[in-house]
Structure 1
Amino acid sequence: MAEKIQFELVSPAKLLVSSKVDMVVVPGAEGDFGALALHAPMITTVRPGVIDIHDGGKVSSSVFVAGGFAEVNEERITVLAEEAIPVGELTAEMAEARKKAAKEALDDAKSDRDKAHAGRLMLVAEAMAAAVA
């Protein structure tokens, strides 16, 4: 039996996942990466997208994250997410509402900072829409 890696997914609201799994695939800033037991240590940012949790030779669950940070070492992967929602709880209506709010924020943005924030909201909304598609 292959070694498992401890996976913890934490959002500001709560600890969503804390379990030993075969592998976790994370949407990293430089592209998706898989973390297994004995992975080389690293810290990276997480872009908006879906984390796939693999156990028993298949994807056992998927969680949408709005971004955050991931720390990986030989025994554990910890993702600190800005927001995390199980994919099964997402709806197309939620994603569309996010897109609408992001577009309004972009239209109303006056400063570069406001435009950057609105652009980030749009990235999250688009990633959420892709997760429910």
Structure 2
Amino acid sequence: MAEMMQFDLVSPERRLASVQASEVQIPGAEGDFTAMAQHAPVISTLRPGVLTVVTDVGSEQYLVTGGFAEVGAGGTSVLAERAFAKADVTAELMEELIKEANMQRDAANTDAAAKYADDLVAARTQILA
């Protein structure tokens, strides 16, 4: 059996998960990574994407739109700007998020805003599969 760690996922609205996990696949802004028990301490910003939590009973996926992940001796915590359980993500919600991102991209006209919108489009494909 894999070594377990505490995992917490919170957004400003609510706590979405607080479980013992063997691994957490995180969409980091500098690249995706997997946190496991005994992982070296790290703090990372998040990009829009799918976060996957593996527990002893299976795996759960969440859509995150940004935020921070902290991996340390006590486990892994994700503080998401917005987060949704996969079961709560609909095509309509994804279109709304992408529309907002495209409006921000058009207003800001920056590479970062364009990447944010592109990351949401990629997440739509993965989360709605």
Residue 79 (str. 1) matches residue 78 (str. 2)? yes
Q: How does the TM-score come out when normalised to structure 1?
A: 0.81
- Do the aligned partners of 1:41 and 1:71 also contact (CA within 8 Å) in 2? yes
* Structure showing greater Rg: 1
Q: Which amino acid aligns with 1:126?
A: V
Q: Report the CA distance between 1:50 and its aligned residue.
A: 0.7
Q: Report the CA distance between 1:124 and its aligned residue.
A: 5.7
RMSD between aligned alpha carbons?
A: 2.2
In 2, the alpha carbon distance for the partners of 1:44 and 1:85 equals 19
Q: Greater CA deviation, 85-94 or 119-128?
A: 119-128
Identity within the alignment, %: 43
Q: Please list the CA deviations of residues 71-111 of structure 1 after superposition, one character each: whole Å capped at 9, or x if unmatched.
A: 1013310111000001121111222233334444545x2xx
Q: Report the CA distance between 1:3 and its aligned residue.
A: 2.0
Q: Which residue of 1 aligns with 2:128?
A: 132
In 1, the alpha carbon distance for the partners of 2:30 and 2:102 equals 26
Q: Which residue of 1 aligns with 2:14?
A: 14
In 1, the alpha carbon distance for the partners of 2:116 and 2:46 equals 15
Runs of 4+ in 1 over 3 A off after TM superposition: 100-107, 114-121
State the secondary structure of the residue aligned to 2:13: coil
Q: Greater CA deviation, 27-36 or 78-87?
A: 27-36
Query: How is 1:84-123 mapped onto 2 (pairs within 5 angstroms)?
Result: 84-107=83-106, 109=107, 114-116=108-110, 119=114, 122-123=117-118
Query: How is 1:17-96 mapped onto 2 (pairs within 5 angstroms)?
Result: 17-56=17-56, 58=58, 60-96=59-95
Q: Greater CA deviation, 123-132 or 15-24?
A: 123-132
In 2, the alpha carbon distance for the partners of 1:2 and 1:125 equals 32
Instruction: Structure 1: state its 5+ residue gaps.
Output: none
- Do the aligned partners of 1:96 and 1:125 also contact (CA within 8 Å) in 2? no
